[in-house]
Amino acid sequence: MSLLVQQDVSLKPFNTFAVEVRARWFAEAHSEAEVRAALVEAERLGVNLLVIGGGSNLLLTRDVDALVLRMASRGLRVLGEQGGRVLVEAEAGEPWHPFVQWTLQQGLQGLENLSLIPGTVGAAPMQNVGAYGVEVKDCFAGLTALDRRSGELRDFSLEECQFAYRDSRFKREAGRWLILRVRFALQQAGTLQLDYGPLRQRLTEMGVASPTASDVSRAICSIRREKLPDPAQLGNAGSFFKNPLVPAALAEQIRAQHADLVAYPAGTGQVKLAAGWLIDKAGWKGFREGDAGVHRLQALVLVNYGSATGPQLLALARRIQADIFRRFGVELEMEPNLL
């Protein structure tokens, strides 16, 4: 299959904020060969290559003078057992949530807390995506990436990925590594992570006393559908700000003024604050200016009500950041990649 390159393509269908910008060039890669062809084509055209997955962690603020390559490779495999766990591998273009459901259908657990997260498998390690007490790194077994400088393939171990909170080597070295496939080590039986957020309460409401991994997935899907807007109905990129890590002394200063502060110990004299609580307490939940706004049920989510532009959404984010710093002395960091 040869690479099909199109000119002047709208990226609105390829970013979950549904922001209308255009790519000078656009292509989809279904294989490693097409990825390599895209690198050659970008060089021939004299433009950069911008790689995207599901567009669920991206804020586009202008037209893209580049060859935009959407990863569309598919493939799911059980590789065998290693150290009492089952290794599975997925191609980078696989949608994340269907991949999680596939692992559950194989009788495997470990990724159930990450159910209903938008995006693709290849993008998940870049952000070290996480939810309900679990991050990608917790079940990660390795990945294969293409070095865009040398053209060589390289396998990365857990340690080599340098995972951190919503961060990784691949995010810090943006533009160098192109993730092709990712591997996870999952369990056939083990302890479920049930102690984060309202998960236990939801399972009780469902009448589940002894939950399975599939039960946990269903509960989390139920919670997420209530709290977070569906990008197909209302443009958004999920949680827009990271939960900030602050010195414990600052957290205590805030708690002295606000006894209901939502915070979690983070070790080494630090505390993780709930960014959504800060934004809600500052009165931003439900705010709307034109078509750019903050979701009425979840203060952590910025939304596009129809025709908001990337600059309008970015301006709103900057206003929120400035207000939170003024009120609490806390700097909020944006989670989506900004272009």
| Active-site residue set | 166, 239, 335
Question: CA angle 39-8-12, nearest 5°?
Answer: 95
Q: How many helices (H) and strands (E) does the chain have?
A: 10, 20
User: Minimal CA–CA distance to 124: which of 153, 154, 91, 149?
Assistant: 91
Proportion of the chain in helix, strand, coil states, percent, rounded to 5: 30, 30, 40
Q: Which residue has the tokens 């997420």?
A: 224
